[in-house]
Amino acid sequence: MKKIIVFIPVFVLFVILMFIIVKKDDIKNSEFYDKVYTDTSHENSNVKIKYPQFNDNIHENINELISDFAENIAPEAYGEDYINLNLEISDYDVTYYNNNLLSIVFEANGYVSTAASPNNFVRAINIDVENASIISLSDIYSIDDDFAEVVDSNFHEQFLPKKLKEWGINKDHELYEKYKNDLAHSGPCNLQGTLENKKRFYFSENAVIICAGVEHAIGDHFEIEVDYSELKKFLKTDIEPFAKKSEWESNISMLINNNVESVRLTTYTPDGTFEKQIDSDYNRYVEFLMSVKTIPVDPILLNGIATAFMIGLDNRSELRVTLMANYAMIDNEYYFKIINYDEISENYHELFDM
């Protein structure tokens, strides 16, 4: 087959990219416009907060919710009778918006002139668009000790690497071990109170973000990203994005909706590559895959023994899954971490003779 190579001039490509960027901004600008709340009525204080408003007449109730929220950021953080305060929020981020849900997050830096240092904090508003009401986390999820444990686990998994990267501390740094040991003992402040606070979380396309407080010396706050797939067992609703299937779930569901016609295993080891055709008892492999619970991760370089298997389906499609210890890949494109590896490891090793 002849390969056809198409060359696109750099200038044309630049114009195309610019068109895409401008169109995206136009869409955002057509939805919202900016307003700025300013308050200088308190003694020796200056508060200025930018916030969005819908650019139409049908979301007036939601616009009022957003403006009331913005005007109450300073009193909520510093008390109704605050003085000597300088607080400016020069921008906001609409992290999620569809017909059901709107999430807006504000990152603030406030300074009271009599305090030793400024403080940083995040506040967010999450709105049920259809009913023009503010959503709490408990409206979406059952908040219990198990839920808090999932959030806390994600904090400890994310905090150390993110902070070290933020501070420019890599493994070659002379103080790496000191910072690593110091940060290892850090944890979110009053996590249960944070989960009950309507203003300390927001939503993105793939995760709920919990805005946890931490000690001032290490940043005042930390945003914990918890993938929706980790929280499905706590769900009270089936609306998007909370009930959205991950790429893993979408692909594995093919095994339910189609008959498996063939399974071929390929094991990669330091001693070579070994292939095995499975002629029967496909259900063992299907049931194992359906028992695997994962969360998406960014592509990473993995080393070690890996087992890949190609599953032929009766709709003439083929599913390729690769497993390596507690990681999984689909079509060498989507990467996942196996979160129930301890539960399935015995079956995993037995099934693949590892």
Are β-strands 306-313 and 318-324 bridged in parallel, bridged antiparallel, or unpaired? antiparallel
DSSP symbols for 326-344: TEEEETTTEEEEETTHHHH
pLDDT at 354 over 80: no
Alpha carbons 321 and 311: distance in angstroms, whole number: 8
**125 to each of 69, 102, 107, 301, how far by Cα in Å?**
7, 8, 12, 38
Alpha carbons 85 and 311: distance in angstroms, whole number: 63
Q: What are 195's two structure tokens? A: 């989960």
Q: Are 320 and 263 in contact (CB under 8 A)?
A: no
CA 248, 102, 87 angle in degrees (round to 5)?
A: 120
pLDDT in tens, 200-234: 999 998 899 999 988 888 888 899 999 988 898 89
- Residue 331 backbone class (left: φ over 0; alpha: ψ -120 to 50; beta: rest): left
Q: Provide the pLDDT for residue 244.
A: 66
Strand, helix or coil for residue 18: helix
Helices (H), the chain: 10-31, 60-71, 73-78, 137-140, 145-166, 176-184, 191-195, 247-252, 254-257, 282-291, 341-351
pLDDT at 11 over 50: no
Q: What are 213's two structure tokens? A: 């407080």
pLDDT in tens, 227-264: 988 898 898 877 767 766 678 878 888 887 778 888 88
Alpha carbons 292 and 289: distance in angstroms, whole number: 5
Alpha carbons 282 and 313: distance in angstroms, whole number: 11
Mean pLDDT of 157-170: 86
DSSP symbols for 65-95: HHHHHHHTHHHHHH-TT--SEEEEE---EEE
Query: Of the candidates 275, 289, 277, which has an alpha carbon nearest to the alpha carbon of residue 323?
Result: 289
Mean pLDDT of 87-110: 92
pLDDT in tens, 277-286: 887 778 888 8
pLDDT at 23 over 50: no
pLDDT at 3 over 70: no
Instruction: At 290, give phi and psi (nearest 5°).
Output: -70, -20
Question: Across the strands, what pairs with 294?
Answer: 338
For the chain, what percent of residues have pLDDT higher than 70?
A: 89
Q: Provide the pLDDT for residue 247.
A: 81
